[in-house]
Structure formats: structure tokens, C-alpha cells
């Protein structure tokens, strides 16, 4: 069987997708009682509980016939997740329903950008000046923030006032036609902002111009060894009937 070649056309140039070199930028969901895992928004850590009852135990190592586990977690607070505009609308639109009506491309061009937020009045903020005016953006953008240590993969972000996106920066993304935004922070907005959620509202076009095709993916991690530039993105989202769902974004180098 021959290998399958996939090409992307971007900026008038035909680029071959290197399917043999995937770069998984998701962070897995783990039982927080066994392993340290990233979390935010003041919720208890995820836990995996073995199902037990009436002579049954869902753990082969303890004599059961199969491994059978209940999982307790919050999609926004634990691990890599993708959300839709239903996160901030009264209608509570589902990310699964949105993707079914506006299917995600299996492969799409994606720009990886590394940004060091600026200090403003005690906050760390990503500003319009952080985006090069000469850079033409595809429909998907991945933002890696500095500093970028492995601590991001286990950090508890509660009450740390993480960096966030100024709405003016988010507007630049929208104006360039970006529909899928991926970031290594727990939110695109300030941890405590009185419910304003300005960057969420800007990116999703809520309430005046809702962008039903748009997604925001938070809690990713891009290792430092991965260079900035253009990649192909495969954004895999679990079919949860919620405003957010666990996801696995995978980058592929381009030749």
C-alpha cells in the first residue's frame, strides 16, 4: 500500500503535509490523586474511580474481568479543551452540534506564534503590537506564551492572574479571518474580570455577529523545540453535548 500524500495550498504555494511527524500539543486528563495535572477555575482535580458493586470490581489488577472506570472532571478546568460560543450565550449551544453543522477541516493551515506578554498595571497582557503587521494569518492560530516551562503541564492556575489577550489583539485575529484560536493558557480573558469576557465576546462575535464556526482551544502545551511558523492542524474534539469538550490538537510540519 502506498503512502498517501496530502498537500495544502497557502499563499499561492503548494506545501506537503508531513503526516509521519505529528506534534501532539494537547495535555492529557489524569487522575489528580495519582499524578499532578493542570487545573483552573477553583474546581477539584479530576478523578478516576473504579466501579464497584454487587460482587463486581472494574479493575483487572484487583481480580475484575475488565477495567471499568467512572471519570469526574470539568471540561473548562481540566486538560486541553475546545469551546464554542455557547460558553457565553444563553442558548447554551453545544460544541458537538456546532461542529456537526460547521464541520472542522481534517487538515487546515495553522500559524504558530510565540509571544511574551507585556506587564500592564500588574497584569500580563497580549497586545496588538505583539502581532506582526506583515504576517498573514490562516484560519487557525496557535499562541505559545513565554515563559514556556514544563510547569504548564502540571500547574494549578487558581488565583494566579494568568496572562490574557487584550480584546484589541483578539479583534486583529478576527479581522484577519482567524476562526480557530489555540492558546496555552486557561483562558483568553482575565481570571477575574467581573464577567466581562471581552476577548471571548470579540472572538465569538457575541452578541451582535455570532461566529458559529469559531472555536477557542485552551490549555495546550507547545514544547520549546517546536519552531514558530506555518503547520497543518488536525483538531480532534470529543463529541460532548456541552459548550466545551476535551480535545486533541495535532500539528504536522510542512515540507
pLDDT (tens digit per residue) in 38-74: 999 999 999 999 999 999 999 999 999 999 999 999 9
- Asked whether the predicted pLDDT for residue 153 surpasses 50, the reply is yes
Longest dimension (CA), the chain: 66
Distance separating alpha carbons of residues 142 and 25, to the nearest angstrom: 10
pLDDT recorded at residue 155: 94
pLDDT (tens digit per residue) in 226-247: 999 999 999 999 999 999 999 9
CA-closest candidate to residue 46, choices 34, 58, 57:
34
pLDDT (tens digit per residue) in 101-148: 999 999 999 999 999 999 999 999 999 999 998 889 999 999 999 999
Please give the mean pLDDT across all residues of the chain.
95
pLDDT recorded at residue 1: 42
Distance separating alpha carbons of residues 75 and 80, to the nearest angstrom: 8
Average pLDDT over residues 79-96: 94
pLDDT recorded at residue 2: 56
**Class assignment of domain 7-28+75-252?**
alpha beta
Amino acid at each position: 500500500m502506498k503512502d498517501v500524500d496530502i498537500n495544502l495550498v497557502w499563499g499561492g504555494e503548494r506545501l506537503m503535509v508531513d503526516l509521519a511527524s505529528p506534534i501532539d500539543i494537547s495535555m492529557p486528563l489524569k487522575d489528580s490523586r495519582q499524578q499532578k495535572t493542570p487545573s483552573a477555575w477553583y474546581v477539584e482535580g479530576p478523578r478516576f474511580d473504579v466501579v464497584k458493586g454487587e460482587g463486581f470490581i472494574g479493575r483487572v489488577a484487583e481480580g475484575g474481568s475488565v477495567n471499568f472506570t467512572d471519570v469526574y472532571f470539568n471540561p473548562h478546568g481540566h486538560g486541553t479543551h475546545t469551546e464554542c460560543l455557547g460558553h457565553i450565550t444563553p442558548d447554551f449551544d453545544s460544541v458537538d452540534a456546532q461542529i456537526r453543522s460547521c464541520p472542522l477541516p481534517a487538515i487546515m493551515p495553522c500559524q504558530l506564534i510565540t509571544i511574551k506578554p507585556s506587564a500592564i498595571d500588574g497584569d500580563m497582557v497580549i497586545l496588538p503590537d505583539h502581532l506582526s503587521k506583515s504576517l498573514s494569518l490562516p484560519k487557525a492560530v496557535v499562541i505559545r506564551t513565554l515563559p514556556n516551562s514544563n510547569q504548564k503541564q502540571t500547574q494549578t492556575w487558581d488565583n494566579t492572574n494568568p496572562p490574557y489577550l487584550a480584546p484589541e489583539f483578539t479583534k486583529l485575529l478576527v479581522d484577519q479571518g482567524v476562526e480557530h484560536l489555540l492558546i496555552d493558557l486557561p483562558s483568553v480573558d482575565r481570571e477575574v474580570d467581573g464577567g466581562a469576557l471581552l476577548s471571548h465576546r470579540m472572538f465569538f462575535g457575541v452578541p451582535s455577529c455570532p461566529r458559529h464556526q469559531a472555536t477557542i482551544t485552551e490549555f495546550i502545551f507547545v514544547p520549546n523545540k517546536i519552531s514558530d511558523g506555518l503547520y497543518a492542524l488536525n483538531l480532534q474534539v470529543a463529541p460532548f453535548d456541552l459548550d466545551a469538550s476535551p480535545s486533541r490538537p495535532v500539528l504536522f510540519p510542512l515540507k
